[in-house]
Amino acid sequence: MSFFPVTNVARATTLAESLRGYILLQVEEKGEAWYVNMNDFRRYYLQNGQIAYVVLREFGLGITNDDLEKIPVGIKELDDQVDSDNDSLADRLEEALGTNPLSPDSDGDGYTDGVEVKNSYQPLGPGKQTIDLSLASRLKGQILLQVQSKGQAWYINPADSKRYYLKDGLAAYEIMRFLSLGITNKNLEQIPTGVLNFTIDTPTPAPVPVTESPQSNNEPTVNPAGAYQWVGPHQTTQAEAITKIDAYLDELINQNFSGVELSNKQSSWSGNVLSFSFTIKKLFISAQIKGQVVVTNNEVKLGLDFPEIITVFVTKEKVDAIVQEKVNELFQID
């Protein structure tokens, strides 16, 4: 990480323009990361690797394979990266380049893949790569998506005009750690904050099987998919259940999660199963939460799926406590 001191900046847009495409790190706080969008010169919060991966792809610019190959490849040799053939190229990078992660010399020319890539030689054949430094310079700070392949994402580092592979959230986190630029709070405040609307869809949990003997202690259980479930006796009609679920959503989100907007509430019955969903939003993060209630004459079972992205503004421990309290209240679970 490098550091960016700024003095005598007359306009916020001047600073934002000079830092567009950079990932900024708040060195005077807890190391919060921000990406300055190339198009609107606004900064977008990258709370962790997973969110960074989603946010950065939202700003992706399509590029052909031929043009992408004209941009030199950036290599970061990290201790925690898997490099099965010890050629200085991580396995995941070799996957993107098409080289053999189990062979240090994929084309058998006597030079390792790492040496060839670092020196802009073809790792899969003879000769040098056709590098276009002008193209690389024009695309500094951009997120490029391989539209002719599988949509692989690459970040063009403004500091060296090289492309770094963003395979997943882990790779995005490493980019945040090693290619970021330190900035003071005072200078960061001169860059306006952007709002990004996107939704992380999660599959609706499968109906919870109803048994004749509900759990006696009413302790919460967590299924392998991460849904929070409680069981207990109740007496309710379908109409009453819908009313309670509607009230449950309002109270759960509006009263317990400060500053979170609740919208797009939907519910539908199929037999004795009530399926529902709603969208929560805070800052630039929005996420859809889905759930099901299985209703019989003797008990109710509730399952909720919370996407990982929701941990930006609420912990799973808090969700546990709130959901258990509301289910006990709404369905009279002792």
Q: Is there a single domain that holds both residue 134 and residue 208? A: no
Of the residues 164, 188, 212, the one at which a domain ends? 188
Q: Which of 99-113, 199-213, 259-273 has the weakest average pLDDT?
A: 199-213
Closest to 191 (Cα-Cα) out of 324, 12, 22, 53: 12
CA–CA dist 193, 181 (Å, integer)? 17
3-state secondary structure the chain: CEECCCCCCCCHHHHHHHCCCCEEEECCCCCCEEEECCCCCCEEEECCHHHHHHHHHHCCEEECHHHHCCCCECCCCCCCCCCCCCCCCCHHHHHHHCCCCCCCCCCCCCCCHHHHHHCCECCCCCCECCCCHHHHHHCCCCEEEECCCCCCEEEECCCCCCEEEECCHHHHHHHHHHCCEEECHHHHCCCCECCCCCEECCCCCCCCCCCCCCCCCCCCEECCCCCEEEEECCCCCHHHHHHHHHHHHHHHHHHCCCCCEEEEEEEEEECCEEEEEEEEEECCEEEEEEEEEEECCCCEEEEEECCHHHHHCCCHHHHHHHHHHHHHHHCCCC
Q: Is there a single domain that holds both residue 181 and residue 232? A: no
Residue 42 structural domain:
2-188
pLDDT band at 151 (very low <50, low <70, confident <90, very high): confident
Amino acid 292: pLDDT = 73
Q: Is there a single domain that holds both residue 182 and residue 309? A: no
In the predicted model, is pLDDT for residue 233 greater than 60?
A: no
Of the residues 188, 210, 241, the one at which a domain ends? 188
Q: Is there a single domain that holds both residue 100 and residue 76? A: yes
- Is 62 contained in some domain? yes
- Is 51 contained in some domain? yes
pLDDT band at 212 (very low <50, low <70, confident <90, very high): very low
Residues in a beta bridge with 163: 73, 156
Q: Is there a single domain that holds both residue 158 and residue 232? A: no
Q: Is there a single domain that holds both residue 236 and residue 258? A: yes
CA–CA dist 145, 166 (Å, integer)? 10
- Is 193 contained in some domain? no
Q: Is there a single domain that holds both residue 71 and residue 152? A: yes
Q: Is there a single domain that holds both residue 254 and residue 302? A: yes
**Helices 238-250, 316-330: crossing angle, 10 deg rounding:** 140
Q: What is the pLDDT of residues 103-134, one digit of tens each?
A: 999 999 999 998 998 898 999 889 888 999 99
Q: Considering its fold, how many domains does the chain have in total? A: 2
CATH of the domain at 283: 3.30.530
Q: Is there a single domain that holds both residue 164 and residue 214? A: no
Q: Is there a single domain that holds both residue 179 and residue 38? A: yes
Q: What is the pLDDT of residues 18-64, one digit of tens each?
A: 999 999 988 888 788 899 999 889 999 888 887 888 888 888 889 99
Of the residues 188, 218, 248, the one at which a domain ends? 188
Q: Is there a single domain that holds both residue 168 and residue 206? A: no
In the predicted model, is pLDDT for residue 201 greater than 60?
A: no
Count of other CB atoms within 10 angstroms of residue 64: 13
Q: Is there a single domain that holds both residue 129 and residue 156? A: yes
